């Protein structure tokens, strides 16, 4: 649900500055890293000792590769997602990215993480995907642009990148504190995103309210949200987690309705109902 505040904050930044999508994406990752590092340093250590498990460094080569893959995928997700929006428009890009990602996770979680796709999870996946499609696309077809193959491939790449982030997070969740992989991973992602941002033009001029919104993006829907996400992945399979994160679209739509007066059509409301029903199905033991 915290991720659902990204759209509202980004729209507000566009309204008050000349910000571009890559600059916002870069600051989102870059501002989260020092905050995560500071929280890590202030965490109490048993007996005041800095044991090996409290080091930010991964414990072996395999975990190093997973962290680097997590960070690279985060940076690639920002590039592909924002580029897809510029080519396809918001509606089509969001539909492809949000709906394809949990499908990829559900299909890959079984062979990679040995998490079977049960009948209940499959039913929740279908309901959540249909709900997201109705919520994002219902009554908003005017926002869609004629798509091209490059735009569709970019949106699919964004979905695949997001799926890789989820799978990598799940692979590390049981053996590391949530702060460990994301602090390093987000640093890698910010560094990987920097060349693309500089090429597109890094925007540094914001009013005070704009910098506060950038801090919000870095601290709340990035640092805090991913800490909660990785902590949750200790107890929830990756496929289920990817379905639950579709609540991002519901939160974003409700905030846009409350703050910007964006209209929710009957189809959008039906999509919201299906999303909530899918979440209740997942929570039911």
Tens of pLDDT along 169-208?
Answer: 888 887 888 788 889 899 999 998 899 899 989 999 999 9
User: What gap in Å lies between CA 236 and CA 102, rounded to an integer?
Assistant: 14
Residue 48 domain-assigned? no
Residue 59 has what DSSP assignment? S
Cβ atoms of residues 244 and 280 within 8 Å: no
Tokens 């798509």 sit on residue = 147
Instruction: Please report the beta strands in 14-99, taking only residues with DSSP state E, as ranges in sequence order.
Output: none
Domain containing 101 equals 2-11+18-38+59-283
Residues 6+ apart with CB under 8 A from 284: 120
- The residue count of the chain comes to 285
pLDDT at position 262, please?
67
* pLDDT less than 50: residues of the chain: 49-52, 141-144
pLDDT at 51: 46
Asked whether residue 248 is domain-assigned, the answer is yes
Whether residue 259 is contained in a domain is answered as yes
Question: What per-residue confidence (pLDDT) applies to 161?
Answer: 92
Report pTM.
0.76
Closest CA to 73 of 189, 187, 217: 189
Residue 187 lies in a domain: yes
Total domain count, the chain: 1
Do the domain assignments include residue 52? no
pLDDT at position 10, please? 80
Asked, for residue 49, whether it belongs to a domain, the answer is no
CA 74, CA 168: separation in Å to the nearest integer?
11
* Domain assignment of residue 73, yes or no: yes
pLDDT in tens, 83-99: 777 677 666 677 777 77
CA distance 116 to 136: 29
Dmax of the chain from CA atoms? Answer: 61
* Residue 217 counted as domain residue: yes
pLDDT at res. 212: 96
């Amino acid at each position: 649900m915290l991720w659902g505040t990204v759209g509202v904050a980004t729209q507000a930044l566009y309204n008050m500055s000349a910000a571009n999508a890559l600059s916002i994406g870069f600051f989102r990752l870059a501002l989260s890293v020092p905050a995560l590092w500071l929280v890590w340093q202030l965490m109490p250590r048993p007996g005041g000792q800095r044991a090996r498990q409290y080091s930010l460094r991964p414990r072996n080569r395999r975990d190093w590769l997973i962290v680097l893959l997590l960070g690279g995928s985060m940076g690639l997700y920002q590039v592909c997602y924002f580029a897809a929006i510029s080519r396809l428009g918001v509606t089509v890009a969001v539909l492809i990215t949000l709906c394809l990602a949990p499908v990829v996770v559900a299909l890959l979680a079984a062979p990679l993480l040995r998490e079977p796709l049960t009948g209940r999870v499959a039913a929740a996946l279908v309901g959540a995907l249909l709900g997201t499609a109705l919520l994002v696309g219902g009554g908003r077809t005017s926002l869609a642009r004629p798509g091209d193959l490059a735009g569709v491939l970019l949106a699919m790449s964004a979905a695949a990148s997001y799926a890789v982030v989820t799978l990598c997070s799940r692979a590390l969740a049981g053996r590391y504190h949530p702060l460990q992989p994301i602090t390093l991973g987000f640093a890698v992602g910010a560094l990987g995103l920097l060349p693309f941002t500089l090429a597109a033009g890094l925007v540094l001029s914001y009013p005070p309210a704009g910098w506060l919104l950038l801090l919000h993006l870095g601290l709340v829907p990035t640092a805090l949200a991913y800490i909660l996400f990785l902590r949750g992945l200790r107890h929830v399979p990756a496929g289920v987690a990817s379905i639950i994160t579709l609540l991002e679209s519901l939160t974003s739509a409700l905030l846009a309705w409350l703050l910007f007066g964006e209209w929710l059509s009957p189809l959008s409301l039906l999509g919201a109902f299906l999303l909530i029903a899918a979440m209740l199905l997942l929570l039911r033991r």
